[in-house]
């Protein structure tokens, strides 16, 4: 069977020719160019699915949190392009046993980011709850951030700590309690305001969001840009709760932080000084060479999450 990424590659390579004004598969969002000039307001579009028992356990997340998180995964991809979210389309496949109260709480969560639902689809599902969201956003053409524009010499940054979500999932799956980490897993925040601050800065080159873990997500930037990276594992930003949890449960913190995924922070590269009101964490630099990560400090052998 195809791997997740070789299937996407197959879909990309055997489709009809794309119109000139569309940039399709390969980045966090597709881009639909609408105007002629560099100041034009362009549209970006993305789609993400959450499948019960693959992305979430119904007993381990409240319906409100689930609705909110399903939207977050999409808004994070909009932010990754430097764009502002505008609207979402919501498709729900609902199994027996989901109550009206559950659905009402879920929809409150969907609405909690203040982005309007402009359409969708509703079907029955044989067993599992499945949520598919398409999100749309706007960005000025000059401000679009892609995965393909990292330059040798750029510093690589994260816009937040990584690992909390993975540790929260570990706690859920092992019946352990660590409230802040489980909260982080169920309540990620899309880094929209950081993205909107970074987008107009020309020295911010490549950008994406961290959904599968730095170890595999950074490789997407490296492949798209034709460059390599050196990452100093001592610089990977981790929260105090996360480090304590790893210590108590005998987990390798750096390995879990870079392979765990679902942090939804931004990963970007920049030359010169970056202006931002939020904390930014430099973790390494872009170098010439094959599109792979040279880990300095600890050797990381695992990669991030893939479906198959
Ligand atoms: P992200 O983690 O940012 O959501 P993915 O790894 O899911 O990105 O997808 C990588 C790229 O492949 C994106 O451009 C996405 O739109 C595209 N893609 C993923 N699945 C499919 C599919 N089934 N058909 C077409 N394009 C897809
Ligand atoms: Mg993404």
Q: How far apart are CA 81 and CA 211, in angstroms?
A: 14
98-124 mean pLDDT: 98
Q: How high is the pLDDT of residue 40? A: 78
Question: Does residue 304 register a pLDDT over 90?
Answer: no
- Measured between alpha carbons, how far is 58 from 235 in angstroms, rounded to an integer? 35
216 within ligand 1 shell (Cβ under 6 A)? no
Q: What share of the chain is helix, strand, coil (3-state, %, to 5)?
A: 35, 25, 40
What CATH number belongs to 155-296?
A: 3.90.650.10
How far is ligand 2, taken at its centre, from the CA of residue 80, in Å? 7
**CB of 217 shorter than 6 A to ligand 1:** no
Predicted confidence at residue 228, as pLDDT, reads: 98
CATH topology of domain 17-143: 60s Ribosomal Protein L30; Chain: A; (3.30.1330)
What is the per-residue pLDDT for 215? 96
For 298, which DSSP code? S
CB within 8 Å of 117: residues ≥ 6 apart: 87, 88, 89, 90, 110, 111
Q: For the beta carbon of residue 39, count every other beta carbon within 10 angstroms.
A: 10
| Ligand 1 atom showing the smallest separation from residue 48 Cα | 4
Q: How confident is the model at residue 72 (pLDDT cuts 50, 70, 90)?
A: very high
- Tell me which ligand sits closest to the C-alpha of residue 12: 1
Q: What is the pLDDT of residue 157?
A: 98
Reported as type and span, the H/E element at residue 222 is helix 214-225
Is a pLDDT exceeding 90 seen at residue 90?
A: yes
* For the chain, domain boundaries: 17-143, 155-296
Residue 162, token pair as written in the block: 């990584």
Distances (CA, A) of 153 to 17, 168, 210: 35, 35, 21
Query: Which pLDDT belongs to residue 27?
Result: 98
215's CB contacts (< 8 A; 6+ apart) are 258, 259, 293, 300, 302, 303, 304
Say what the pTM is: 0.96
Q: What tens digit of pLDDT does each residue of 222-245 get? A: 999 999 999 999 999 999 999 999
The predicted pLDDT at position 303 comes to 73
pLDDT at 122 over 80: yes
Ligand nearest to the CA of 24: 1
Tell me the torsion sign for CA atoms 198, 292, 237, 156: negative
For 259, the token pair is 């392979």
Q: Whose CA is nearest to atom 22 of ligand 1?
A: 8
Q: Is the CB of 28 under 6 A from ligand 1?
A: yes
Model pLDDT for residues 6-48, shown as the tens digit of each residue: 999 999 999 999 999 999 999 999 999 987 776 779 999 999 9
Work out the pLDDT band at 184, boundaries 50, 70, 90.
Answer: very high
Q: What is the pLDDT of residue 299?
A: 87
Q: What is the DSSP letter of 143?
A: G
Average pLDDT over residues 124-138: 98
Please give the number of the atom of ligand 1 that sits closest to the Cα of 209.
Answer: 3
Q: Which atom of ligand 1 is nearest to the CA of 211?
A: 2
- Strand 22-23 to 30-32 pairing: antiparallel
CA-to-CA separations, 305 to 78, 102, 170, 288, in angstroms, rounded = 21, 29, 14, 26
Are the beta carbons of 78 and 26 closer than 8 angstroms? no
Q: Residue 302 above 80 pLDDT?
A: no
Give the pLDDT of residue 301: 81
Which ligand gives the minimal distance to the CA of 77?
A: 2
């Amino acid at each position: 069977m195809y791997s997740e990424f070789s299937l996407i590659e197959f879909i990309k390579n055997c489709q009809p020719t794309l119109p000139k004004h569309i940039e399709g598969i390969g980045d966090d969002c597709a881009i639909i160019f609408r105007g002629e000039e560099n100041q034009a307001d362009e549209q970006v579009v993305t789609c993400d699915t959450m499948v019960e028992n693959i992305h979430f356990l119904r007993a381990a997340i409240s319906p409100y949190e689930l609705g909110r998180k399903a939207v977050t995964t999409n808004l994070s991809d909009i932010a990754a392009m430097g764009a502002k979210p505008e609207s979402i389309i919501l498709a729900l496949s609902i199994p027996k046993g989901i109550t009206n109260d559950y659905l009402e709480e879920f929809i409150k969560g969907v609405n909690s980011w203040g982005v309007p639902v402009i359409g969708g689809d509703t079907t029955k599902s044989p067993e599992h709850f499945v949520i598919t969201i398409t999100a749309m956003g706007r960005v000025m053409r000059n401000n679009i951030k892609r995965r393909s524009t990292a330059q040798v010499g750029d510093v690589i940054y994260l816009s937040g700590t990584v690992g909390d979500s993975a540790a929260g999932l570990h706690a859920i799956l092992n019946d352990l309690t660590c409230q802040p980490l489980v909260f982080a897993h169920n309540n990620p925040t899309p880094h929209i305001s950081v993205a909107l601050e970074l987008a107009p800065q020309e020295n911010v080159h490549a950008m994406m969001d961290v959904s599968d873990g730095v170890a595999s997500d950074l490789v997407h930037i490296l492949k798209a840009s034709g460059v390599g990276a050196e990452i100093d594992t001592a610089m990977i930003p981790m929260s105090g709760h996360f480090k304590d949890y790893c210590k108590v449960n005998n987990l390798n913190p750096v390995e879990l932080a870079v392979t765990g995924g679902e942090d939804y922070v931004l990963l970007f590269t920049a030359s010169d000084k970056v202006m931002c009101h939020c904390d930014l964490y430099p973790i390494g630099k872009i170098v010439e060479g094959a599109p792979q990560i040279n880990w300095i400090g600890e050797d990381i052998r695992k990669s991030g999450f893939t479906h198959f």
